[in-house]
Amino acid sequence: MKDNQLSRVAYIALGSNLGDRERLLRQALGALDAHEQIAVLKPSAIYETEPVGYTDQPAFLNMAAMLETTLSPTELLQVMLEIERQLGRVREERWGPRTIDLDLLHYEGTAMHTELLILPHPRMMERAFVLVPLSEVLAEGPLQEAVLDTLGQLGKEGMTRWNTSNWPDGSEPSAN
C-alpha cells in the first residue's frame, strides 16, 4: 500500500448464503486486497452458520477480516458496496438471502453516526456469526477483550467450522 498517507486498521464481516458461497467470500477478499488503498492483513476461518433474523433461508458462510486502509470509513464503505454489486448482490427483502454481504464493523479511532454508516457497528456484539470469526483476527486491546467477554456469554451455538482460509501471507501484513 502507498505509505505517504496514514493507514488505519479496520475490521469487516463477510457473509454469503446464495451461489458458490466460499468462492464468493474469497472473491470479495480478493477484490478488497486488489484495491490500491486496501490491504487484507488477516482473514479468519470460515464458519457455516444457521440463519438469524429471517430463519427460512439457506445456511450462511460467515467470516471476518482485519484490513489496513488509507481510505476514510465512508470511502471504504463505498468500495465494499461496489464489490457487493459486482458479485451479484441484489437487494430484495431486508434480511433475505444474498450472494455476498460486507459489513464494516470497526474503523480505528472512529465513532460516527450518519444515515449511511454507524461505527462501531451497532449490532456486532449481539451476533455469534460476527464475533466468533472476528475474535480470531482482532489485535490485542480493549475491543478484543470486549469481544471475548461477550462471546463467553453468547456461546457459539449454530456455528460450525467450515475450513481455514488459504489466504497467501497468512497473518503477516502485506506491506511494510
The contact mask relative to ligand X6L for 77-106 (x = CB under 6 A, - = no) is ------------------x-----x-----
Nearer to ligand X6L, 52 or 79 (CB): 52
Q: Which of 15, 43, 73, 133 binds ligand X6L (CB under 6 A)?
A: 15
Q: Which of 7, 44, 62, 165 binds ligand X6L (CB under 6 A)?
A: 62
- State the burial class of residue 40 (Cβ atoms within 10 Å of its Cβ: 0-12, 13-18, 19+): buried
Rounded Cα gap, residues 78 and 100, in angstroms: 15
- What, of Mg ion, ligand X6L, none, does residue 103 touch, CB below 5 to 8 Å by kind? Mg ion
Q: Which of 11, 60, 107, 167 binds ligand X6L (CB under 6 A)?
A: 60
Strands 46-49, 60-69: pairing is antiparallel
Residues 6+ apart with CB under 8 A from 16: 22, 24, 25, 60, 61, 98, 99, 100, 101
By CB under 6 A, residue 11 contacts ligand X6L: no
Q: With both helix axes pointing from N to C terminus, report the angle between 73-86 and 21-34 in degrees, rounded to the nearest 10.
A: 140
By CB under 5 A, residue 22 contacts Mg ion: no
Q: What amino acid positions are annotated as catalytic residues?
A: 89, 98, 101, 103
The contact mask relative to Mg ion for 82-101 (x = CB under 5 A, - = no) is -------------------x
By CB under 5 A, residue 136 contacts Mg ion: no
Q: Which amino acid is at 117?
A: L
